[in-house]
Chain A
């Protein structure tokens, strides 16, 4: 029987190579022509801790986990109980493990899956240089019916650096695993696709996509301080910025990061930093300076479980409040959020373009679920949003840096241009830039900074709107995938709903929202937060239908379509 998707998890600890096996499984499935995504869960140790790789395979693009897993293979059971909640199994599922490598934890056994023993350790020992994780890879590959050429190509690509002996040893171990799988119960099958169907596809993580989007948008200066889970954005950007003539500076803290990028931007270079909650909190004063002085910057926040130090390795959508309201004073600015791994590329590019065009701060809210998920995707479209800053090439006569005009965007003079000197300031100022405490100047500049955002045409990118119906889900960010899947399942049963996923969170666009909600009488607000930050935001800024319900769940567990679907079904 063919399934629309198959989900498999691998677990192990202390150098068992779970992550490597998982990454290779993802690659092999992609080479076989399937779409797939992978997330990881880890214990707190820096190395040698327990780990789980969770994968989902499908004939259609997939970016989030399903409601259950079809199989869980343990290379060993070291502290695997930690992952029980994240790997829901049931009577149709299969658990696999080597009795020589520990006992299946009660929390996992209690879920009622079928169990089969695998002689991973023994099998690996019989092969020179063979490792249990490669045997495990072979087992799963066989269960999924991944064709041999795809496996072979994966081994060559991934192990090329280790040399032909390593490749051969792994190939033999994989083959041995495939043999072991012959005695195992079958898993649901995906439709077999020709390998050409993989042409043009990409494998990328959300954090990498943000980096690439930023480069495409014109970012050439980054200053940042490492923080989980944003560090990978910086690691990806550092060498590549250098290659394009840009630079990444590792700053001493987030206070330095935000101020350094303001300085670089003042000099004319599109600039960005990446952080998460506590770092964003430190940056709020600096972001306010960017807004007040009208200096473009992009601040990427890869959200994770909060508050305070929270749960660093898990996702949550709870920095919405600080992104929207964290600046002191009346400081309108941009807040955008990608709604998928692929959308991280587009939204980072768009955010850069918006920040540059509107001379303001753009906060991009990604999260750990998007950032650290690796997904196989159709080749992303090329967007044409680059730069956008209005500058003065030469000055004739007096130059007013903050002159008021119809668009609210006053051209910026860059250092080096004669006659265009001014002192940028966080103090309120007159059109010339001179500090002013006069009422008329404050009103004029407040209006300018607000109206330039409101008067801009964001096009259709402000939200992604799909489907139709009198019931709608409104959501944002990583919750979108689970919401979409829930609605797809309901549609298959004949219940049609609309999906609205906001990409532009600030400024608010009431007219566009009215259009999006036309005909909607029931609205389910979906978000990964304990207290419904997004729900409150909607209520504060938009006219909502008569019946509104909030589906809000904090991290650490991912949002699941089944829960959203149930919530809608209960609402009858």
Chain B
């Protein structure tokens, strides 16, 4: 069969969705993020079998099962480690990492720092709703200190919220962007850029929790495009991110440095060569 006869229709966003129906609460921002992911993958024309989506535990971590790609639903906080191992061992794959603010910034905090440092070619999408939804509404690392609606912290958490974009910058991430579930197409563009960016790309997506933080429906009014283009100057980016109002959308920082990808090239094919050092 000649090449010209094999006309495969390009995949649409729909083709990246699996048959599994999401169990998220109606009104959850993650539905929009699911759409964002499928649209970005469709635009890039990636074969679904060449994509792996890795997650931890939480509502947003259920996403791999809703996609037609390979996936791994791992344990709480360790998605970046799973993904790093996979990408380093299989550099041919496109590896996306998904999860929430608790999974990523609380138990997963150290892996987040190290992933930004290491700069492996991963794309990390965090659906931030400033709450632990799966476990019924506790404060998360990005929750404001005076949020009093959790039984575990009735007077409010009283701790400074984690600033993920600042931490990402300080730790060496080379692509930092923010999107919103209220703009799935815009977020899809950001995601496509993030996937194409060589190195560790961090895409922070504001994604309201309809059940435990219904007031976050107002986020769609608060978000706005960032007033300036992305900078590649870490000092300038630091200033911007430290004074960021939390609702600036777009690519906020983009630079390049060497990607962590050890060369997997065999120079020794006969293991018997290793015997020599032990032989008397």
Could you tell me which A residues sit within 8 Å of B by CB distance?
30-31, 198-204, 208, 212, 215-216, 220-221, 223, 240, 242-247, 249, 251-253, 255-257, 259-269, 271, 285-286, 289, 293, 376, 379, 415-427, 434-435
Across the interface, A259 reaches (CB within 8 A) one of B49, B85, B90, B266, namely B85
Residues of B within 8 A of A266 (CB): 52, 72, 82, 86
B65, A435: Cβ atoms under 8 Å? yes
Q: Does B78 contact A (CB under 8 A)?
A: yes
A421, B72: Cβ atoms under 8 Å? no
Cα distance A477–B47 in the bound complex, in angstroms: 49
Q: Does B84 contact A (CB under 8 A)?
A: yes
Cα distance A215–B266 in the bound complex, in angstroms: 13
The 10 closest A-B pairs by CB, nearest first: A263-B85, A245-B266, A260-B85, A423-B71, A259-B81, A264-B89, A263-B86, A267-B90, A263-B82, A264-B85
Interface segment out of the listed B128-136, B154-162, B223-231, B267-275: B267-275
Residues of B within 8 A of A427 (CB): 73
User: Measured between C-beta atoms, what is the minimum distance from A235 to chain B in Å?
Assistant: 13
Q: Does B93 contact A (CB under 8 A)?
A: yes
Across the interface, A434 reaches (CB within 8 A) one of B65, B68, B90, B110, namely B65
Residues of B within 8 A of A261 (CB): 85
Contact with A along B37-79 (1 / 0, CB 8 A): 0000000000111101110000000001100111111110110
Cα distance A221–B78 in the bound complex, in angstroms: 18
B90, A268: Cβ atoms under 8 Å? yes
Across the interface, A255 reaches (CB within 8 A) one of B81, B84, B267, namely B81
Q: Does B6 contact A (CB under 8 A)?
A: no
Cα distance A200–B279 in the bound complex, in angstroms: 7
CB within 8 Å of A: which B79-128 residues: 81-90, 92-93, 110-111, 113-114
Q: Does B221 contact A (CB under 8 A)?
A: no
Residues of B within 8 A of A245 (CB): 264-267
User: Measured between C-beta atoms, what is the minimum distance from A239 to chain B in Å?
Assistant: 11
User: Measured between C-beta atoms, what is the minimum distance from B108 to chain A in Å?
Assistant: 10
Across the interface, B85 reaches (CB within 8 A) one of A204, A212, A249, A421, namely A249
B72, A30: Cβ atoms under 8 Å? no
Cα distance A253–B71 in the bound complex, in angstroms: 24
Residues of A within 8 A of B1 (CB): none
B20, A263: Cβ atoms under 8 Å? no
Count the B residues whose beta carbon is within 8 Å of the partner chain — how many? 50
User: Measured between C-beta atoms, what is the minimum distance from B148 to chain A in Å?
Assistant: 32
B75, A263: Cβ atoms under 8 Å? no
Residues of B within 8 A of A420 (CB): 49
Residues of A within 8 A of B54 (CB): 263
Q: Which of A257, A267, A376, A423 has the most CB of B within 10 A?
A: A423
Cα distance A253–B278 in the bound complex, in angstroms: 31
Cα distance A40–B203 in the bound complex, in angstroms: 52
Q: Known pairs A202-B275, A242-B263, A247-B262; list 4 more (Cβ under 8 Å).
A: A208-B278, A212-B274, A244-B268, A286-B78
**Inter-chain CB contacts under 8 Å: number:** 174
Find the A residue at minimum CB distance from B108: A255
Residues of A within 8 A of B50 (CB): 415-416
Cα distance A262–B88 in the bound complex, in angstroms: 12
Q: Does B7 contact A (CB under 8 A)?
A: no
Residues of B within 8 A of A289 (CB): 74-75
Across the interface, B73 reaches (CB within 8 A) one of A202, A255, A263, A425, namely A425
B274, A252: Cβ atoms under 8 Å? no
Across the interface, B271 reaches (CB within 8 A) one of A203, A244, A252, A259, namely A244
Cα distance A141–B68 in the bound complex, in angstroms: 70
Find the B residue at minimum CB distance from A435: B65
> Known contacts A417-B49, A420-B49; is A221 also within 8 Å of B88 by CB?
yes
Residues of B within 8 A of A242 (CB): 262-263
> Known contacts A423-B70, A424-B73; is A262 also within 8 Å of B85 by CB?
yes
User: Measured between C-beta atoms, what is the minimum distance from B91 to chain A in Å?
Assistant: 10
User: Measured between C-beta atoms, what is the minimum distance from A296 to chain B in Å?
Assistant: 13
Find the A residue at minimum CB distance from B52: A415
A215, B88: Cβ atoms under 8 Å? no
A423, B88: Cβ atoms under 8 Å? no
Residues of B within 8 A of A379 (CB): 279
Q: Does B9 contact A (CB under 8 A)?
A: no
> Known contacts A208-B278, A247-B264; is A421 also within 8 Å of B70 by CB?
yes
Across the interface, B280 reaches (CB within 8 A) one of A203, A216, A434, namely A203
B278, A423: Cβ atoms under 8 Å? no
Across the interface, B49 reaches (CB within 8 A) one of A223, A252, A421, A424, namely A421
Find the B residue at minimum CB distance from A27: B280
Cα distance A256–B54 in the bound complex, in angstroms: 14
B110, A247: Cβ atoms under 8 Å? no
Cα distance A212–B86 in the bound complex, in angstroms: 23
Can you give 9 contacting A-B residue pairs, CB < 8 Å?
A221-B85, A240-B268, A256-B78, A267-B89, A416-B90, A418-B47, A418-B48, A418-B49, A421-B69
Find the A residue at minimum CB distance from B262: A247
A415, B85: Cβ atoms under 8 Å? no
A423, B64: Cβ atoms under 8 Å? yes
Q: Which of B70, B81, B262 has the most CB of A within 10 A?
A: B81
> Known contacts A256-B111, A260-B84; is A271 also within 8 Å of B70 by CB?
no
User: Measured between C-beta atoms, what is the minimum distance from B37 to chain A in Å?
Assistant: 14
User: Measured between C-beta atoms, what is the minimum distance from B70 to chain A in Å?
Assistant: 4
Find the A residue at minimum CB distance from B55: A423
Find the B residue at minimum CB distance from A417: B49
B49, A244: Cβ atoms under 8 Å? no
Across the interface, A252 reaches (CB within 8 A) one of B47, B70, B110, namely B110
Across the interface, A415 reaches (CB within 8 A) one of B20, B90, B266, namely B90
Residues of B within 8 A of A415 (CB): 49-50, 52, 70, 86, 90, 93
Residues of B within 8 A of A419 (CB): 49
User: Measured between C-beta atoms, what is the minimum distance from A224 to chain B in Å?
Assistant: 11
Residues of B within 8 A of A267 (CB): 52, 85-86, 89-90, 93
Find the A residue at minimum CB distance from B84: A260
